[in-house]
Chains A and B, each alone.
Chain A
Amino acid sequence: MIRRTGSRGTAPLGLLLPALLAALAALAPLYYLGTIALDRGWSTLWSELWQRRTLDLVARSMLLTVACTVASIAIAVPAAWLVSRTDLRGRSVWRVLLALPLAVPSYLSAFAWISWRPGLAGFWGAFIVLTSVSYPYAYLPLVAAFGRLDPAHDELAQLHGRARVWSLMWLSARQCQSAVAAGGLLVALYVLSDFGAVATMRYDTFTWVIYGAYRAGFNPSRAAILASLLVVIALVLIAAESRVRGRAVETSASAPRRGTGRTVRLGFRGLIAAVALAMVGAVTLGIPLWRVIGWSLRSGDVGVADVAGALWGSLRYSLFASVATVLLALPVALLVARSRSRSSRLIEGSVYVTHALPGIVVAISMVFLGVRLMRSVYLEAPLLVLAYVVLFLPLAVGSLRAAAEQVPRGLEDVARSLGSGPMTVIRRVNIPLLVPGVAAATALVALAAMKELPVTMLLRPTGSETLATRLWTSTTVSDYSNAAPYALALVVFVSIPTALVSARARS
């Protein structure tokens, strides 16, 4: 039976207005960035872009992005295949362990590496760190895609003589091409947007140069022009990702049979695989952890009060930010999940676009906005919270939307027939069913805000410190023993809870 979608077009005004507000908030900084980039006219813009140093910058950024993406896929494909299609021992432990680097802030990992091997500064350091923390973006969708593959394909391949274990992996990867591509694009977007790793490694890519342009005598138009160029590249990536992901979902829909747990036997190769995965774990998790613990043992003269103060700063701002973000994201998610009208698609699109905004771009735009328009709250908590909202709105909408779409349309119809008006349905049916999703989204945003660096660094209220800024200041002067307590606190209060929340949300 064809599902009729005619009535999905209508959205109650009570949802549409707040959702519109959220979209405007998300787009305002982007608009402002554009006006500043064009402050001195188009000719200045072109001359800034057509410069040797700008083209070099693009080349360096692309080199790092492509290298990290390729390396991430090279790790993600075999890792995801091993944990989802084979009889590897301890698969469920590996499955979680391999996703954990996602929770490690890139600057923390970068500090760990550079404190151990200062010679790594530059491309190789940035490459190692960014590959370590971003390959899970390719790994996680692949675990899901491999899990949906029909095991009959492996059995058939074996019957037809393709019994070589690695050729079976190749076969699975070919079937999940779209998932590989989508994951790779997410990695690319992450690498391009990252500030912490390239800043620590002093590798001149977009984010670090934009920060430099902002610091060096506050050259607003060059910073804004470069930021706009970065946004354009990121938008291309995000558009490509959403296209490829659409295809990935289509192909998986044609094979509804769930994996029956029949798996490829590895035999002695299982040992080789385990050693390889252990090496991935050692590089991505082991070395940062070992360094952080090492610093802590040689701890300097950091007082408990300083650490507590920084932790309180992180907690306070991130809690405000997560509540504000989720409150704004909720109407958007409900609207998008319920209605396919033009206005709802437009709102969804504007929030989705901000997904492509790197932290440093949001930070710079908010500084411009603060200096020119909102002088009274510049370097005050409200502007910082607003910046977090802009940065994390897509994260919250994505997480809430998934939860909102799990409410079958039939429930709303039934509730209407039982005497509830549209807003009452939202209150009595949609919202109660959303509570777990709201809790998860709030936690995700709070944790993401706690480990966020560029926005926090540029917009934190004068005189206040957070874990991230304390760690940043200590490490810029290579004071690793003083950095230790903040790094440890970040691991304990941010990375570990992030891993727990993500694991829960996925199961």
Chain B
Amino acid sequence: MSGRLHSRPAGSLAGGRVDVVGVSKSFGAHEVLHDVTFTAPAGSVTALLGPSGQGKTTLLRIAAGFERPDAGELRIDGEVMSGPGSFVPPERRGIGYVPQEAALFPHLDVARNIAFGLPRGSRARVDEMLELVGLVEFRHHRPAQLSGGQRQRVALARALAPEPRLVLLDEPFSALDAGLRAEVRDDAVAILRATGTTVLLVTHDQDEALEIADHVVVLLRGTIAQAGTPQSIYDAPAGLEVARFIGQANLLAAEADGAMVRSVLGEAPALGRRGDVTVLVRPEHVEVERVGSDAVSEPDRAQGALGTVERRSYYGHDGSLTVLLDSGQTVVARVSIRDLAVVGARVRVRATAVSAVF
């Protein structure tokens, strides 16, 4: 479908900038969101990332106007949508919404689903949207006759048809099976980027967020743990919890003296920290070297640590080793196929880089 996507659909607007300022929300005694503040730049794809039940969906529903915040303000292009004493209902916000289960209107065919938010006689726009999502020949099908992926595409077309400033996606791909998910997701993101609209995407899938978003907002227990580009969040997580949640993490006890930090895996710059700290070493920064069974630990920590391969995972393009160090800690290393040692082998592991010191 890439051929169609190089041209932007005629008449589409640039996306709106979304400002969330100090938003809080409770259901009964349970506070779901606490003082949440972030900005989704105009035209960006912003992922709200976090484990289940941490307030992501509530935040999205507040952005849509399905829920009202207890405190704080939500603005689109500077215009207050929800705030103290003012509330714009969902139907007047100019947003598109794609829920997890697509929620197509079962009594309407594909074309009428897409036309739902358009004024009467907008046939040309419907044709354009059908073309965009590649479902022209399915115009008169009922939702029940479509596959899961096709339904999501219709839901996307329906949301985009009225040219919204902001499109809200609530875990839209998680109901699809793994094989289909990547394909539907890539298509959807390409379509969304082609329209230039701002996208807020709720997901609990960190790989999905890192892959497709320009901007990631990590929500933990109703507060923002970190916000930034995927790379900044992966490379420099703001805390232990974020480090654990985003990607695989080896978290090791270490000592720092201001200049250098020393852990079992070796030395690294201490980034000004002193005392007992924890270092984050990503598996791809762990180097593994096979040693003879008679090798013994040397006092020099810069050499790394000895251990035994406990588990071996083969991914095809590469693999990973779980190594039980003689000191009792467990370290995961991402290695090339060439270095994929067998279980039980003696190895020496060393950190080539430290991502963060906490």
Name A's B-contacting residues (CB within 8 A): 1-2, 4, 6-7, 408, 410-411, 413-421, 424, 428-429, 432-433
Contact = CB atoms under 8 A, between A and B. Distances in A.
B138 interface: no
Interface in B95-124: 95-97, 99-101, 103, 105-107, 116-117
Contact of A417 (B90, B106, B171): B90
B106 A413 contact: no
Interface in B67-109: 67, 89-93, 95-97, 99-101, 103, 105-107
A4 B91 contact: no
Contacts of A414: 97, 99, 103, 105, 155, 158-159
A410 B95 CA distance: 15
Closest 7 CB pairs of A and B: A418-B117, A410-B103, A417-B97, A416-B90, A410-B99, A419-B91, A432-B107
A408 B101 contact: yes
B57 interface: yes
29 contacts: A1-B57, A2-B53, A4-B61, A4-B67, A6-B67, A7-B61, A408-B101, A408-B103, A410-B103, A413-B64, A413-B99, A414-B103, A414-B105, A416-B66, A416-B91, A417-B90, A417-B93, A417-B97, A418-B96, A418-B117, A418-B159, A419-B162, A420-B91, A421-B91, A424-B91, A428-B116, A432-B107, A433-B106, A433-B107
A420 B101 CA distance: 20
Contacts of B116: 415, 418, 428
Interface residues of B, number: 34
B197 interface: no
Contacts of B66: 7, 413, 416
A157 B155 CA distance: 46
Contacts of A420: 91
Q: Is the interface of A mostly helix, strand, loop or mixed?
A: helix
A413 B117 contact: no
A429 B61 contact: no
Contacts of B313: none
B101 A417 contact: no
B310 to A, nearest CB: 34
B65 A416 contact: yes
Contacts of B57: 1, 4
Contact of B52 (A1, A6, A419, A432): A1
Contact of B27 (A6, A421, A424): A6
Which has the most chain B C-beta neighbours within 10 Å: A6, A415, A429? A6
B58 interface: yes
Contacts of B97: 413-414, 417-418
A6 B33 CA distance: 14
Contacts of B103: 408, 410-411, 413-414
A417 B95 contact: yes
Contacts of B61: 4, 7
A429 B57 CA distance: 23
Contacts of A4: 27, 32, 57-58, 61, 67
A417 B105 CA distance: 14
Contacts of B52: 1
Interface in B14-45: 27, 32
B158 A416 contact: no
Which has the most chain A C-beta neighbours within 10 Å: B106, B158, B171? B106
Nearest to A433: B107
A432 B64 CA distance: 25
Contacts of B107: 432-433
A418 B162 contact: yes
Contacts of B93: 417
Nearest to A420: B91
B288 to A, nearest CB: 39
A411 B155 CA distance: 11
Given A410-B99, A410-B101, A421-B91, 4 more contacts: A414-B103, A416-B66, A416-B90, A418-B158
A9 to B, nearest CB: 11
A496 to B, nearest CB: 30
B52 to A, nearest CB: 5
Nearest to A411: B103
Nearest to A1: B52
Interface string B46-69: 000000110001100100111100
B117 A419 contact: yes
Nearest to A421: B91
Contacts of B95: 417
A117 B54 CA distance: 71
B27 A417 contact: no
Nearest to B103: A410
Nearest to A5: B27
Nearest to B96: A417
Contacts of A424: 91
A412 to B, nearest CB: 9
B186 to A, nearest CB: 23
Nearest to A429: B105
Contacts of A429: 105
Contact of A7 (B67, B99, B162): B67
Contacts of A417: 64, 90-91, 93, 95-97, 117, 159, 168
B122 to A, nearest CB: 12
Nearest to B107: A432
A426 to B, nearest CB: 13
Contacts of B168: 417
Contacts of A413: 64, 66, 90, 97, 99, 103
A4 B54 CA distance: 12
A429 to B, nearest CB: 6
A411 B67 contact: no
A37 B318 CA distance: 85
B100 to A, nearest CB: 8
B93 to A, nearest CB: 8
B350 to A, nearest CB: 41
B48 to A, nearest CB: 13
B63 to A, nearest CB: 10
Contacts of B90: 413, 416-417
A192 B289 CA distance: 85
Which has the most chain A C-beta neighbours within 10 Å: B52, B100, B103? B103
A473 B97 CA distance: 63
A4 B158 CA distance: 24
A417 B66 CA distance: 9
Which has the most chain B C-beta neighbours within 10 Å: A408, A416, A420, A424? A416
Nearest to A435: B107
A408 B175 CA distance: 16
A2 B52 CA distance: 8
Nearest to A424: B91
Contacts of A408: 101, 103
A11 to B, nearest CB: 15
B67 A416 contact: no
A382 B65 CA distance: 45
Which has the most chain B C-beta neighbours within 10 Å: A2, A417, A424, A433? A417
Interface string B342-355: 00000000000000
A413 B63 CA distance: 12
Nearest to A414: B103
Contacts of B91: 416-421, 424
A12 B134 CA distance: 39
A338 to B, nearest CB: 13
Interface string B113-150: 00011000000000000000000000000000000000
A421 B89 contact: yes
Given A2-B53, A411-B105, A416 B89 contact: yes
A433 B143 CA distance: 14
A156 B64 CA distance: 50
Interface string B218-230: 0000000000000
